[in-house]
Structure 1
Amino acid sequence: MDRMAYAEALSVHEAKTIVKSYADAIKDDSKYLQRMVTVHGNTIVNRWKKKSCDKRTKTLQTAFPCIFPTKRNFVHVHYDHADITWQPMREFREALLVPWLNLETLRDDSYKLLALLHARTKGLPEQWVAFDNHSMTASWVAGGLRTEYADCCVVLYGSNYDIIGFPRGRLILEAQSIILKTLRGTVEDLLLGVDTESSSSKWYMLVDSNFRGASGSIADQAFIAPIFDLDGLLNISKAAFHEAEDHLWLLQTDPVYLQYRAKLARQGWLSRGTGDRFLPHSSWMLCYKAFTTVQRWSWVIDEFEHAQAQRNRFWDNIECELLLINLLLQRVQKLGDCLPSFKRFSEDYKISDTGNAVRAKLNTDKFPTSKAMFYGDPLHWCIVQITADPEDPNNYDASMLLGFLTDWLNKDTTTAQNKQRLEPQILEILSEFATTYELLAALGERVPDEERSQGTERLAELLKIVELTPFPKSERDAAWLSKADEVRNNTSALWAHVRTIHASILKKHKFSTEKDYEHDMTMLSYDSAPEHLLALKLQRESILQPKKPATEDLSTLNISNRSKEKTKTRPEQQISSQLEAPGLESEDDPSRENQHKTVHIKSLNLPILSRMFPNTVEEYAAKPLDWRTFVSAMDDAGFAAMESGASAVTFLNTVDGGRIVFHKPHPTAKVEQFMLQAWGKRSDKWFGWTRESFVT
């Protein structure tokens, strides 16, 4: 039997009967669930949360007898039942129609079922069609779903009115029916014996809290109501742009931060195993790629702002997906290229060094099949799957893989040694991948240059000088200033050379206007910006004048004074925009310079947040801070933490609006003092924080 062939042909009348039966059931179940949530919300919440895991299992299996027992339905069906032939897949129809719906997810996290109930009652069935259709793509392509043919189509009404062929349309309706019947059966069990209507206040409180994070990341798409929020997507893009821009700024103005990043750039075996042979490439990736990352996110913002301006006139003609797909493919390629360079993964590759180039190929002797790697090394399996073409329907869905990675990191059985395999560079790529995929999901549902090579050789020499000149940690006096000046001069020499390289690239390819050239040079000249030089002058004066001791760190530019205006490059379609954190005044306002927020916090959190703005030798030399302690202190200051994929954590300002992204340290969740200081500078820029802001 051909797995891609239709099982049988149905008449139009038979097709109509099938579609109508599903549509009627979906409509009836939706109305029931919407009413029960409204009048019995508190009872549903209380009874479900009080149930033990065993009782939840019984309830769910009664509501959905064919519910799959473990997470990642398709992967387990593929590897455990259909790794030799495809026919056994057909026995798991329900699990493949809804590959994210399983017993483990709903049973172990009490908030997941509640989040799903909210998502399916808030969003109309027709709003879920795109997601439900995408979810079963791998199952459809693999031939795991028995289908019938009918010479007709299914009309899907709603704001995105469209049609789809009967074979796929019938599967979508069947999947929606399974989800709603499971929810209805569960709710009916929870409301047994309840006759009197009750309040739903607890329910709405959970809705406001995103069900305690149960529906907060791209891996939880199935638990988030499908509301297309262009403003929200723009805010996510701006947060990513701001993070990349701050990273570029700190590389140029904070020598300690630059030395840390240089150390990371040299951790791969390409540097350790072959000395400084690959340092030119590493230094290029560190310095110049930080700039191009800012550029990429700037383009994404351009697209979303353009879409925002045009959506009311030409909504159907707005296409943002292509740019995001290309960015996603770049992240995938970068991850695949760099993975073999890290010691804890290089053992799984066959490395060939020809002298001019190093090539790596997965060692199939260790894991001859994908299934063997899945069970033998799930972390490597997951990352290898992520490096596959995200547009190929034969590959695993990215949101499922990101969820798999999160679960693996949080498992008690995952050892610290295993977690250490995820180097910070890998986590950064994964975080950017997750953000890009989140935007894309929301919308849809090298020949080396000789001139540049010569330039990077000198860049490597300058970076090595920076690495070998540590920033002073002693008492701040004239000797300290002399040593600090030496480190800063080395940093400035590095970035002056980056500017030279970039200028030659622009000149050679002739694709830059004078305005673009000035914009790029400004972004690569933070170390010589007037505000930064003034800050250093004030620091020098405060140190050399004992009567006016330094009360805050002025080792780098107070970035709250740095312009956030982004040059527009869209011809004839430019729209005026300021890249500002929501809730903050425009920095064109001259009064902004001395406007600092007052943040009321508990006394126990004062010494914690004050460490973001150190002013004593003891604070500069303080031990690393526990991540959970930092998150708790930020929560006290009005910032709610939400995981955003890999190591990225978005802190949402619940008081004035806005967001900022910090990366959770890995594998040990301890924040180094220099990183706290860098976060303090970023918080000053976007939210006006200083050491004096905190009031108990």
Structure 2
Amino acid sequence: MAPNIKTVPFGSEESKKRENRVWAIRSTLMRIKRPDKDLKAEFLDPKKPLTSPFNCTNPVIITEVVDSIKADLAFLRATLKKHADFLVSRWKKKSQGKRFSFLTEHTELFDKKWAAIHLLERVGAGDEDRKYSGPRNLRKVRTRRTADGKIAICLELHTQESLANTELRDKTLVLHHDSWFLPYLDAETLSEDPTLFFSLLHHRTSNDPEKWLMFDNTNIVLAEHFSIIPNVFNPNCVVAQGPDYGKLVSWNAEKAHRWEIIGFTKAYHLFTAHRKMLNLLSNCVRALLAEVEAPTTLEVHPKWDGMVAADFSRFKTDFPWSTDFVKPFSEPPRFDACEVAELIASRHRVVLDELELLQTDPQYVQMLSKEICACRFFETWRVEDMTPWLVDYLFFQTMHRESYWRQLVAESELMIRCLDVFERKPTKRAKQDLEQAVSIVNDLCIETFAIFEPQVHAGLLVERGFERNFEFQGSAKIKSTNRGFTAKDWFTDNLLYWSMSTLGFDKERPFTMDPAFNFAIIDRLCRTDLKEARRIRQTMLDKLSDMSILSEIITSIQSDTTRNRAVLTQLWEHFKELWVKELVKAKVSQRLIDEDVKSHNQVEVQTVWGKENDHPAALPIKSTPKASLVPDLTFATNGPQNQVVFYVPPTKTVALPSIQHVKLESLVFHYMFPVRGAESQRSFSWQDFLSAMIDAGFSILQSQGSAVTLKLDHPTDSGVKTIVLHRPHPWPTVNPVMLRRIAKRMEKWFGWHREMFVERSK
């Protein structure tokens, strides 16, 4: 349980508020109750026992949802097998306006972009939380739920404005169910780019519903919070995977913690989200097929197959700021321990290089200082008054970030060692150690995100692009530092500021969306609106990029159902030992103890979705190979062991082959490594710079935020094969200062120098 105000350290009211904000962010990332929402400990009256919450009078309600899921999935798979290219042609031929009308007619999606924003605006605050002018002389009779759970009829008095808002709120709660359960979808977004619909259709039909379980679990929180469907309770749980998908079973604590089974209420919401998605797709496909009398049937589908082979890369070619926007239109999130460790190590190298530049490059420090001092907040301050603030903002915060990344590197390195041990000898103890290491990395990422967020929140004050979001007070006639400010709620009026100031916690709303939603908005605005993109400075974008990669790691770990289900294995093993001791103390016979322990043995994880005798075309059977867990048997592996090598200072004798380049790219390296004593005075476009890096042997990978990862096929002598660079913002131009920074980093990690590069002959 999250600490409340009584358990946080004593201090000033400001420190308490800051600590409460950090805990609120942690609560959002872990989806636990916020400290101010914790239950109060009260004694129950034995004469008035609580009534049973299990009020579900329709036990087959889950079966009906599962049957609908299976029917829609079978229909979509069969249709794609016959008419995939026909669907591509019909959808692409429609104009954006016709696609929009089609979606509003055949789905329950919200019409405007960022559906969750508009839904929250309409229903986020009740009538009692809004301020209205004028007399309340309009009557409205409505039903409401009382504190004891009963339904009561009451009479309300409204103004003209409050009555309209209340009626809109009630109407919104019963409409747009597709967007309530799928808050990342809306008619405007899907109609803008036809590729999005195809990608959504492909990934939702090629992956079984259980693969999307954890992703949908992070997105149904909006519908859960506002009770879009009734919260029904049942003493049984529901199987979440395998041939018994959707079957009611008895409660089993160990299976529940492994997400093999889930509670009835949670299952009803999750399966409803699955049904909404597949029903939306099937309704659209049926409507497209109905537009002609005899849809074309083909054995092969070159258009569709080409799009699938390209992985629908249309929205990946322009290096988006973040991948959060395309997550719903991509493969389900997965967890790769080696990939996570490399991401963490590469980000740590970035902040290490930043610290080195702050200590060794006066021009770089001067450039950052000028940007900060030019903001309106400091317009009356003297230089000597600003210096402590600049030291804190530039140096201390960077050192603070480095310390957290360093700790993450250490924990991820331990995770890789545990993975290596488990792959060589998959014993139960090795499995438990690996699960514990993964859990620690996840918890530390949550903690790091919560600690980094205040830096972004406070940094908005010195961003010139966000000055109009603050109202400044104070007169320099009294004191040069006499400066105060207030900020109002800019929800819906200024999405960029709102998205950056509410990462993990929105104090003005009763509900906070996952930070991935905020990053998706920032990504979209930066890529489609140059005016909005110019408001963010490069240093702020770098901080957002760090937080975005942390959010990505948290999502990947929480989406890994195989390990997520087993996180508490070690805890339950210890609990069994304690339970046996208690039974022995109670003088229970050994036979009964053995039977009790045996009843709690782990059941083999199911890996097949659908019934075993279903037709392969409708419900394909996919089996996942698993390493058997034996206590003392050693398995020899033929593949290479996974290993991540962390920072080792490169030696002076790094031997790299000369790299040949065409004339244009050789200019990049010529100015990147000028002759001794000279200064680089030329800028290059970002695309020309990336072309030079590709010619130098790097492959370019999109990372989270403004970052791209340059990756070599083989590590250098220092053990490093990746380096993270941030795309210059807002203009895609590598200026001389940035080029010099990159050159120093390349020399440090890869041993690059001027003599390595020669011009390729024409």
Report if TM-score (shorter chain) is over 0.5.
yes
Tell me how far 1:688 sits from its aligned partner. 4.8
Match of 2:680 among 604, 612, 620: 620
Change (3 A) 1:577 1:397: closer
CA contact (8 A) 2:116 2:180 kept: yes
CA contact (8 A) 1:71 1:100 kept: no
Q: Structure 2: which amino acid aligns with 1:261?
A: L
Match of 2:232 among 148, 151, 172: 148
CA contact (8 A) 1:262 1:283 kept: no
Change (3 A) 1:97 1:307: same
Change (3 A) 1:210 1:395: same
Matching of residues 651-670 of structure 1 within 5 Å: 651-653=709-711, 655-656=713-714, 658-670=721-733
Task: Name 1:429's counterpart in structure 2.
Answer: 543
Change (3 A) 1:70 1:229: farther
Change (3 A) 1:341 1:55: closer
2:732 pairs with 1:649: no
CA contact (8 A) 1:89 1:144 kept: no
Task: Name 2:413's counterpart in structure 1.
Answer: 305
2:388 pairs with 1:266: no
2:366 pairs with 1:291: no
Change (3 A) 1:269 1:55: closer
Q: Structure 1: which amino acid aligns with 2:309?
A: M
Matching of residues 456-535 of structure 1 within 5 Å: none
Task: Name 2:59's counterpart in structure 1.
Answer: 15
Q: Structure 2: which amino acid aligns with 1:109?
A: D
Q: Structure 1: which amino acid aligns with 2:58?
A: E
Q: Structure 2: which amino acid aligns with 1:22?
A: V
SS in 2 for 1:310: helix
Higher relative contact order (CA 8 A, sep 6+): 2
Task: Name 1:693's counterpart in structure 2.
Answer: 757
Tell me how far 1:675 sits from its aligned partner. 0.8
2:521 pairs with 1:404: yes
2:195 pairs with 1:111: yes
Change (3 A) 1:579 1:9: closer
In structure 2, how many angstroms separate the alpha carbons of the residues matched to 1:614 and 1:245?
24
CA contact (8 A) 1:240 1:661 kept: yes
Change (3 A) 1:213 1:659: farther
2:355 pairs with 1:248: yes
Tell me how far 1:133 sits from its aligned partner. 1.7
Tell me how far 1:272 sits from its aligned partner. 4.0
In structure 2, how many angstroms separate the alpha carbons of the residues matched to 1:50 and 1:687?
50
Task: Name 2:216's counterpart in structure 1.
Answer: 132
Q: Structure 1: which amino acid aligns with 2:181?
A: L
In structure 2, how many angstroms separate the alpha carbons of the residues matched to 1:231 and 1:405?
28
In structure 2, how many angstroms separate the alpha carbons of the residues matched to 1:689 and 1:279?
36
Q: Structure 2: which amino acid aligns with 1:431?
A: S
SS in 2 for 1:207: coil
Partner deviation per Cα, 1:392-421 (whole Å, 9 max, x = no partner): 981122111111112222334x53xx5443
In structure 2, how many angstroms separate the alpha carbons of the residues matched to 1:613 and 1:189?
60
CA contact (8 A) 1:40 1:197 kept: no
- List runs of 5+ in structure 2 lacking aligned partners: 1-51, 126-164, 243-254, 290-294, 423-430, 560-641, 716-720
Change (3 A) 1:57 1:695: farther
2:311 pairs with 1:207: yes
Partner deviation per Cα, 1:161-206 (whole Å, 9 max, x = no partner): 4333323321211111221233345556778312323456524431
Q: Structure 1: which amino acid aligns with 2:523?
A: T
CA contact (8 A) 2:449 2:550 kept: yes
Number of residue pairs aligned between Structure 1 and Structure 2:
538
SS in 1 for 2:316: helix
CA contact (8 A) 1:600 1:695 kept: yes
Match of 1:675 among 730, 738, 742: 738
Change (3 A) 1:576 1:380: closer
Task: Name 1:194's counterpart in structure 2.
Answer: 297
Tell me how far 1:244 sits from its aligned partner. 0.7
Task: Name 2:31's counterpart in structure 1.
Answer: none
Tell me how far 1:99 sits from its aligned partner. 0.5
Match of 1:608 among 658, 664, 668: 668
Q: Which moved more, 1:35-44 or 1:668-677?
A: 35-44
In structure 2, how many angstroms separate the alpha carbons of the residues matched to 1:682 and 1:271?
33
In structure 1, how many angstroms separate the alpha carbons of the residues matched to 2:416 and 2:314?
26
CA contact (8 A) 2:504 2:515 kept: no
In structure 1, how many angstroms separate the alpha carbons of the residues matched to 2:360 and 2:117?
47
Q: CA RMSD in A?
A: 3.9
Tell me how far 1:28 sits from its aligned partner. 4.1
Partner deviation per Cα, 1:442-500 (whole Å, 9 max, x = no partner): 2233xxxxxxxxxxxxxxxxxxxxxxxxxxxxxxxxxxxxxxxxxxxxxxxxxxxxxxx
Task: Name 1:362's counterpart in structure 2.
Answer: 486
Q: Structure 2: which amino acid aligns with 1:231?
A: C
Task: Name 1:383's counterpart in structure 2.
Answer: 500
Task: Name 1:100's counterpart in structure 2.
Answer: 184
Change (3 A) 1:618 1:683: closer
Q: Structure 2: which amino acid aligns with 1:89?
A: T
Match of 1:334 among 455, 462, 473: 455
Task: Name 1:232's counterpart in structure 2.
Answer: 339
SS in 2 for 1:14: coil
TM-score norm. by structure 1 comes to 0.67
Match of 1:217 among 323, 326, 330: 323
In structure 2, how many angstroms separate the alpha carbons of the residues matched to 1:42 and 1:688?
51
Tell me how far 1:680 sits from its aligned partner. 2.3
Partner deviation per Cα, 1:287-330 (whole Å, 9 max, x = no partner): 34323322211211222232333354115444233222221112
Match of 1:65 among 95, 107, 126: 107
Change (3 A) 1:604 1:135: same
In structure 1, how many angstroms separate the alpha carbons of the residues matched to 2:94 and 2:699?
28
Change (3 A) 1:434 1:422: same
SS in 2 for 1:596: coil
Tell me how far 1:383 sits from its aligned partner. 2.2
Task: Name 1:450's counterpart in structure 2.
Answer: none
SS in 1 for 2:656: coil
In structure 2, how many angstroms separate the alpha carbons of the residues matched to 1:59 and 1:23?
27
CA contact (8 A) 1:218 1:644 kept: no
SS in 2 for 1:382: helix
In structure 1, how many angstroms separate the alpha carbons of the residues matched to 2:316 and 2:113?
20
Change (3 A) 1:393 1:45: farther
Change (3 A) 1:51 1:343: closer
In structure 2, how many angstroms separate the alpha carbons of the residues matched to 1:145 and 1:679?
53
CA contact (8 A) 1:651 1:662 kept: yes
Tell me how far 1:374 sits from its aligned partner. 3.3
Change (3 A) 1:358 1:380: farther
Match of 1:166 among 261, 264, 274: 264
CA contact (8 A) 1:352 1:360 kept: yes
CA contact (8 A) 2:213 2:270 kept: yes
CA contact (8 A) 2:104 2:111 kept: no
In structure 1, how many angstroms separate the alpha carbons of the residues matched to 2:415 and 2:81?
36
TM-score norm. by structure 2 comes to 0.62
